[in-house]
Structure 1
Amino acid sequence: MTAALSKRRVFMTGASGYLGSRLIPLLLDAGHSVHALLRASSRHRPPAGCTCLWGDPLDGATFQDGIRGCDTFLQLVGTPKPAPWKGAQFRNVDRVSGLASIAAATQSGRPHFIYISVAHPAPIMKDYIAVRAECETALVGSGMPATILRPWYVLGPGHWWPILLAPAYRIAEQWPSTSEAAGRLGLLTIQDMLNALVWSVEHPAETIREMNVPDIRRLTGGGR
């Protein structure tokens, strides 16, 4: 584990989204500063307490200069409510934004890059996994220090239905033939993810750090 560092300067894409809007207050309360990349359509609802930068998360040239001086880059842009039939959106949004952010950060000080990927291998969501794996490869190849988080499904507002599968998960975790997959593809709560993201900001990786579901759970008090 790396030692916690004090105040960080965080550049964040996806700041107005599902995770970003909940993460910003936690980072600000901890004394960090947040530089939030926002589209012009978000001008009417900028996050309170942030330094706002207006640009296109799909075009690194529009925000590359804003990264300079930041020591952390949080890539949170993604297709809402991922589903197997959203392959085109994964390729046109998640892939393009991820690669644009990695390229821009590489040219703008090489900050600690935090990327939310996805647990893999998995029996479904092939297009989603392919896009996230491609961005992981680009990130590793960039030479930047990075934390790669690999959740599977995050429970939270509007995303509660998989909790019905919890009993099946508990059974699968007890069988040697299924325990590894059940842990790797386990359920996390939105609070688990927020805790992991704050921890990642405050404990920057020196090289490449990969955090799978069991690793994320340990940050919030152990497995379930």
Structure 2
Amino acid sequence: MKHVFITGGTGYIGKRLIPLLQQKDYMVTALVRNGSENKLPPGCNIIIANPFEAASFMKDIPADATFVQLLGVPHPGPKKKEQFKTIDLASAKASAIAALHAGVKHFVYVSVAQTPTGIMKDYQQCRAEGETTIRATTIPSTFIRPWYVIGPGHYWPLLFQPLFKILEWIPSTSAKAKALRIVYLNQMLNALLYAVEHAPANGVDIIEISDIRKMNKKLID
């Protein structure tokens, strides 16, 4: 049996990813805090623990599992600097420690595009620190780096698409505009499925926005 251990399974992406993993015959174990277990899709194993304390859940991670780290602040924005530190980064550090002690075979981390923007630098910095922490474990890992994921309830960035298209044609802004392109929910789910099924033999694989946008297979609405 193939095992996936996931944090953030009740979130926007996690609750859609779990059924897709189950369809591919993965046994999914989801870490949740007390009171959130009913928000998970049916059919997965549930571990109720503190995602910020590695000791509270490391014993529940199958040794041969792929660890998928999705836990983070919903709707990230410039005003959530402290939450990025106390939730995103803190949970990534705890997960890295737990995964190392459990002996997992592969760590999949949803990070963020690292192109300088000036408006989300705190978020980018925390995710970059998360990457550094995971690298230090030497667990074979995959980092997925989207910017903004478009899907149900998250369509407002489409209003800025015409502006970004113009910026892509201006030499001085072209590179940055292309580096911060939106990705669609189905593309992101495909990227996660690809990452789970293609663990690097060692080191780190990185899936950038340009790679995510190529993953267009229709999954769910």
TM-score (norm 1): 0.91
CA contact (8 A) 1:115 1:147 kept: yes
Deviation at 1:179, TM superposition (A): 2.6
Higher relative contact order (CA 8 A, sep 6+): 1
Corresponding residue for residue 201 of structure 1: 196
- 155 and 56 in structure 1: CA distance in 2 versus 1, 3 angstrom threshold: same
Deviation at 1:186, TM superposition (A): 0.6
2:146 to 132, 147, 151: 151
CA contact (8 A) 2:3 2:62 kept: no
Corresponding residue for residue 49 of structure 1: 43
Does 1:165 find its partner at 2:152? no
- 70 and 20 in structure 1: CA distance in 2 versus 1, 3 angstrom threshold: farther
Deviation at 1:32, TM superposition (A): 1.4
Query: 2:89 and 2:9 mapped to 1: Cα distance?
Result: 18
Corresponding residue for residue 173 of structure 2: 178
Structure 1: gaps spanning 5 or more residues: 1-6
Corresponding residue for residue 98 of structure 2: 104
Deviation at 1:70, TM superposition (A): 3.7
CA contact (8 A) 1:37 1:53 kept: yes
Corresponding residue for residue 18 of structure 2: 24
Query: 1:132 and 1:26 mapped to 2: Cα distance?
Result: 25
Structure 2: gaps spanning 5 or more residues: none
CA contact (8 A) 1:8 1:201 kept: no
TM-score (norm 2): 0.92
Paired amino acid for 1:151: P
Alignment of 1:122-141 (within 5 A): 122-141=117-136
Q: What is the DSSP-based 3-state SS (H/G/I as helix, E as strand, rest coil) of the residue aligned with 1:148?
A: strand
Q: What is the DSSP-based 3-state SS (H/G/I as helix, E as strand, rest coil) of the residue aligned with 1:44?
A: helix
Does 1:117 find its partner at 2:111? yes
Deviation at 1:71, TM superposition (A): 2.4
Query: 1:29 and 1:171 mapped to 2: Cα distance?
Result: 41
CA contact (8 A) 2:67 2:106 kept: yes
Corresponding residue for residue 69 of structure 1: 63
Q: What is the DSSP-based 3-state SS (H/G/I as helix, E as strand, rest coil) of the residue aligned with 1:106?
A: helix
CA contact (8 A) 1:37 1:54 kept: yes
Deviation at 1:88, TM superposition (A): 1.1
- 169 and 92 in structure 1: CA distance in 2 versus 1, 3 angstrom threshold: same
Q: What is the DSSP-based 3-state SS (H/G/I as helix, E as strand, rest coil) of the residue aligned with 1:194?
A: helix
Deviations 1:40-96 (A, max 9, x none): 111334421111111111111111011133420000100010010011111111111
Percent identity (aligned): 44
Query: 2:2 and 2:198 mapped to 1: Cα distance?
Result: 10
Query: 1:100 and 1:156 mapped to 2: Cα distance?
Result: 29
CA contact (8 A) 2:37 2:46 kept: no
1:213 to 197, 209, 214: 209
Does 1:78 find its partner at 2:61? no
Paired amino acid for 2:150: L
Q: What is the DSSP-based 3-state SS (H/G/I as helix, E as strand, rest coil) of the residue aligned with 1:68?
A: coil
Deviation at 1:211, TM superposition (A): 1.2
